[in-house]
Structure 1
Amino acid sequence: MTEEEKKTADTGQQEEAKKPETSAEGTKEQKEEKASADTKPETEKKADGKEEAAAADASAKDDKKASFFKKNDKKEKELQDKIDALNDQLRRQMAEFDNYRKRTDREKEQMFSNGEANVIEKILPVVDNFERGFDTVQDEDKDDAFVKGMQKIYSQLQKELTDLGVKPIDCVGKPFDPSFHNAVQQVEDDTKESGTVAVELQKGYMYHDKVIRHSMVAVVS
């Protein structure tokens, strides 16, 4: 065998020896790639699972919040209904109390007015006696000090009655009105129409708009 043939044979043997190593290395790389390929889906699956769990957890939290706010809205409505009912009850009670206060004020005013009218009615006979006394005074005695003193007392009494709202009823020459007059006599008078008050026998008085004593009169027949 020549020198060249030996070299060629050695080179062939070396190449044959290298082939298994390359094949082994190729197999190793393929295994790693396959392992990597097998591992990657599992990682992605884990990531997807975490995302789904997070989404489910977020959805559960949202549902919990919605339920919480729904319960709060219901409680708030119930409280508002109670507040409205209490406010309505309070308004009714205030209206009732206001009506009660007005009614009691009217009753007090009426009681005071009736009491005052009763007192005035008892004073009127005193006024009548003053007037009867003045009617008996002779003209020559009108300047007497005693008569003048009595006239001053009478004038003061009349002023106080006027300030209280007491005024005499004007009746002479007026048509007879049973609301103000008490007819006790009929008279003949050609100068006046029938049914007209001819003579006042006793003065009548009014206390504000209320008659506390009717005028005693004689009426034309």
Structure 2
Amino acid sequence: MDKGSEKCDDLDSEATNAETQQEDETAQLRDKLLRLTAEFDNFRKRSIREKEEYRKFAVEQIITELLEVYDNFERAIASAKQTDNIESVVKGVDMVFRQFASILEKEGLQRIECHGAAFDPHLHEAIMHVEHPEHEENTVVEVCKPGYYLHSKVIRPAMVAVSKKPETGGE
């Protein structure tokens, strides 16, 4: 064999080895990509499942507390049907209401205080404008339906009546 032929064989052999290495590396990377994709998919499914379980547990706790309120309302209704003493019925319903409000407050619910405040579209929903000479324009003069925060997020804006300047009838 001559030296030129040996060099060609060596180059062919090196090229074949390089190709084989690249194919092996590509196969390894492809396998790694498939495993990582499967792991991520499993992680995503597990995260969704865990979030759902957490939500159910959180709901279970609040429902358990509200069951006491539910039981007290049932007792109040039964008691109201058997008595003519309206004052005791009102007192009982008021106690149940305070228990209910206490649970909601403990969970982070707060009423939006807005009577007399400047109208804020993030906190209020204006359902009517009324002429009100004693208040500046765009002042909340009546709360038709209270609004609420849950922690710091507005979950229901207050439905309010907002003052406007009196129309002058100058003819």
TM-score, normalised by the number of residues in structure 1: 0.41
**Cα distance in 2 for residues equivalent to 1:216 and 1:80:** 65
Post-superposition shift, 1:145? 3.8
Q: Answer 1 or 2: higher relative contact order, Cα 8 Å, separation at least 6.
A: 2
Point out the structure with the larger helix share.
1
Post-superposition shift, 1:82? 1.9
The answer on whether the counterparts of 1:187 and 1:220 sit within 8 Å (CA) in structure 2 is yes
Moved over 4 A (4+): 70-78, 99-102, 105-109
Point out the structure with the larger strand share.
2
Partner SS for 1:174: coil
In structure 2, the gaps of 5 or more residues are: 1-13, 60-86, 165-171
Post-superposition shift, 1:154? 1.0
Q: Describe the superposition over 1:156-182 as per-residue Cα deviations: whole angstroms up to 9, x where unpaired.
A: 010122233332122112221233323
**Cα distance in 2 for residues equivalent to 1:201 and 1:170:** 12
User: Which one of the candidate residues 28, 31, 38 is aligned to 1:83?
Assistant: 28
Indicate the residue corresponding to 2:78 in structure 1: none
Post-superposition shift, 1:155? 0.5
User: Which one of the candidate residues 163, 188, 195 is aligned to 2:132?
Assistant: 188
Would you say 1:177 and 2:120 are equivalent positions?
yes
State the superposition RMSD in angstroms. 3.9
Asked which structure has the greater CA Rg, the reply is 1
TM-score, normalised by the number of residues in structure 2: 0.50
Structure 2 counterpart of 1:194, which letter? E
Structure 2 counterpart of 1:160, which letter? I
Indicate the residue corresponding to 2:107 in structure 1: 164
The answer on whether the counterparts of 2:112 and 2:158 sit within 8 Å (CA) in structure 1 is yes
Would you say 1:151 and 2:56 are equivalent positions?
no
The answer on whether the counterparts of 1:199 and 1:219 sit within 8 Å (CA) in structure 2 is yes
The answer on whether the counterparts of 1:187 and 1:198 sit within 8 Å (CA) in structure 2 is no
CA separation of 1:178 and 1:73: change in aligned 2, threshold 3 A: closer
**Cα distance in 2 for residues equivalent to 1:91 and 1:146:** 65
Q: How many residues align?
A: 120
Partner SS for 1:217: strand
Structure 1 counterpart of 2:108, which letter? G
In structure 1, the gaps of 5 or more residues are: 1-69, 116-143
Post-superposition shift, 1:72? 8.6
